[in-house]
Amino acid sequence: MKVATRLPAGGGERVSRQASGDYIIATRGERHWSPVDGAAMTILAARAEYDQGRIELAQGRVGGVMELFAIPRRNQIKRRPYFSYWRARA
């Protein structure tokens, strides 16, 4: 069970919220990202979806392991491409 904590605006007590395992697409140990078995999408697909404004990407840490989340947006937004911009320049 993963729990994310944040401090509400204006101070106060920490609010705990469980992060859904359904959104985890990759984990990172010491050096590189590894896809999660049964993930909804690959990292490359998540980058394309992010550039199209369909998902948000977030990272969280559980112990010494980083987790990459691809969280669907309720409404698609127009956003300046980030990942496709840098891939085109490489």
Is residue 10 included in any domain, yes or no?
no
Total of domains in the chain: 1
In a domain, 75, yes or no: yes
Separation CA 83–CA 50 (nearest Å): 8
Confidence of residue 6 (pLDDT cuts 50, 70, 90): very low
pLDDT recorded at residue 9: 53
For the cut 50, the answer to whether the pLDDT of residue 71 exceeds it is yes
Q: How far apart are the first and last CA of the chain?
A: 39
**pLDDT tens track for 16-25:** 455 567 889 9
Whether residue 58 lies inside any domain: the answer is yes
- Residue 46 is predicted with a pLDDT of 93
pLDDT of residue 16: 44
> Which range marks the domain in which residue 77 is found?
20-89
